[in-house]
Amino acid sequence: MEEQIIRAEYSDIMQKSYIDYAMSVIISRALPDVRDGLKPVQRRTLYDMYELGIRYDRPYRKCARIVGDTMGKYHPHGDSSIYEALVVMAQEFKKGMPLVDGHGNFGSIEGDGAAAMRYTEARLQKVTQEAFLGDLDKDVVDFGPNFDETEKEPLVLPVRIPNLLVNGADGIAVGMVTSIPPHNLCEVIDGVRAMIRNNQLTSEELMQYIKGPDFPTGGIVVNQDELAEIYRTGQGKIRIRGRVETEQAKGGKERLVITEIPYTMLGANIGKFLNDVAALVESKKTTDIVDISNQSSKEGIRIVLELRKGADTQQLKNLLYKKTRLEDTFGVNMLAVADGRPETLSLRQILEHHIDFLFEVTTRKYQNLLTKEQQKKEVQEGLIRACDVIDLIIEILRGSKSREQVKECLVNGVTEGIRFKSDRSRKQAAKLHFTEVQANAILDMRLYKLIGLEIEVLMKEHEATLANIARYTDILNNYESMSGVIIKELDSYKKEFGRPRRTTLENAEEIILEEKKMEEVPVVFLMDRFGYVRTVEEPVYEKNRQAADSENRFVLHCLNTDRICVFTDTGRQHLLRVQDVPHGKFRDKGTPLDNLCNYNSSEESFIAVYPLNDIRDTVLTFVTVSGMTKQVEGSEFDVSKRTIAATKLLEGDRVLEIHSAAENAHIVLATAAGYFLRFPVSEIPFKKKGAVGVRGMKLNASDTVEHVYWLEGDGCPEVSYKEKSVAINKLRIGSRDSKGTKVRL
């Protein structure tokens, strides 16, 4: 056979492959089905538990067994994803209605993870067994082959309640995300009932029954008026606040107690909230909080803020709502798989799809039950008729040679080969016309069935069967009858599994936080040679002036509202607020600069530090190791970003000096090879901070600028070069971009 080469455009193949992969992730892994509200991993895990017989009224089984069986039979995507789905379905603080009954450590609301699957155990919840898996044996849903075609699995579970709304959903697919909040079971069932009775209801009208989301963590939804638009479009943002109560403490003090948190604050965000509150205290945003403790337990959330006497509790609540995640936003995107494709659905569409599914499941259920009852009716009628001619049947049995001969006589009236006592019996036998099913039932009938009482029981069973057939036929042929059956079943779930609403819905005004303006206080900023920084009060500095000046590389007088510019040899400028710098006693060690800004002590070194207020109206002179110089207006460094490029450097170059020099000052550049060049600072041109600058001094190939000196007044400063003293104010005044004078040793 000749080899056939198929030519194809590579981009077309890649596009098709990526679309196939994306749709596989969307449909088969990340998004829930609108009918049962489950992702494939959840559906397969619940079905596997059902198959293993792990019912709500039976003992717990190890989660490792459940996970292994699910992975081996239905979901070959790794044990961690299966166990994670199992854990979430058991966590009552994440699900509006947990589907799995977990035994052991299944994590906590504060973000603690579940124990390993070899330690934990689980079984189905009663609601899961009854409302999710109850009718699987009645052929109510389609089954399909598993991944290796060795097992059959349901393509959707026959869920009788709108699980997509009750438990919500979240998932990230390729290019799309779903985020559906949980709702109250009683309200959702009321909404389904209303829509069954009137399928013309809009999403806004359905909100008479489904008021809004009901989060398992409680909280307060504060934009109730916006919910109508969210439910109409399937997208929007829900603003949630935690619930804060005021309690009286000893000594006339009060405390704030957080008893409910926003749903988005689950897990590690509780710890972050505690850190944020501590940061508000440290940054002096509030002085009303004297202590914070997390007293949460299995009984619920309880975070206690102890307040000082006379604290403004309302202002403090506003501060917490505004500056922490105690008020947060839940993004809604009601995306689910509907009719085999991902679709953003409104509240009405979700209920519409679910009700259609309910009627489909109920139709298949009662069609199956009707078929079984009709089969029972056929058998019962045959047995009743058989009782009337039982003597003839016994005669046929005694005169026949085989079961098949008897069966042929009962069904078709064939009497050849059968010995009868009389021709009259033969003629009666020829008139028999039982069905094949009835004939088999007669042949399998035991003799005790001929007892009078047993015949009466058979007659009653037949009457019950006829009643069932009439009832099932009515249900299948009458919309009102089927609606009544569905509504009755929903009411039973509501009565048994419903619970009161936890989340409060209201319209609250936007928080307006009147922040107190920080009082400007003079402080002294201290920075040692290791980069540890702190601020002290001016009287403290004056008292310890000598020690402060000798122990610190930079001593700056500034205001507590000022910002500090830290320039490094890599040409970067870091901004830090003075109010963020630790303020305390003189002998306090301080905090590393790395912790307060983007400064990285392993990659750069600080060379100049200035209060922004001091340099805003001045000029800074830059000098690099390779002799490049420039002057930059100080106002260019007044920016909002915490880190910027203060200058542009050539490859391998670094900043040596940054100085705010007087206009009539002279600059002296000294190189490693002993060349000194003195020239007026005014010769250095003004450049933007993003410029490289101009050459300040001509250098030999291997020479570099090692020191920069400034002559800004009277005096005769002397420096040394290899133990030889050099009076820099006596150096000949040269010009920029010259070689300078060589020091003779």
| Residues catalogued as catalytic | 119
| β-strands 628-633, 591-592 pairing | unpaired
CB 458 within 8 A of CB 388: no
CB 132 within 8 A of CB 50: no
Rg, the chain, Cα only: 42
Q: What are phi and psi of 180, to 5 degrees?
A: -120, 125
CA distances 619 to 536, 550, 642, 659, 662, Å, are 28, 28, 21, 8, 9
* HEC profile of 61-111: EEHHHHHHHHHHHCCCCCHHHHHHHHHHHHCCCCCCCCCEEEECCCCCCCC
CA distances 577 to 138, 304, 565, 580, 638, Å, are 70, 30, 9, 5, 13
Q: What are phi and psi of 85, to 5 degrees?
A: -65, -40
Separation between Cα atoms, residue 202 and residue 77, nearest integer Å: 40
Separation between Cα atoms, residue 204 and residue 273, nearest integer Å: 35
Residue 448, token pair as written in the block: 């005790």
Separation between Cα atoms, residue 44 and residue 336, nearest integer Å: 18
**Of residues 656, 712, 657, the one with CA closest to residue 682:** 712
Helix, strand, or coil here: 726? strand
Task: Name residue 692's amino acid.
Answer: V
Separation between Cα atoms, residue 186 and residue 192, nearest integer Å: 10
How far separated are the first and last CA of the chain, in Å rounded?
A: 92
Strands (E), 549-693: 554-559, 563-568, 572-577, 591-592, 606-611, 619-624, 628-633, 643-645, 655-659, 666-671, 675-680
CB 724 within 8 A of CB 676: no
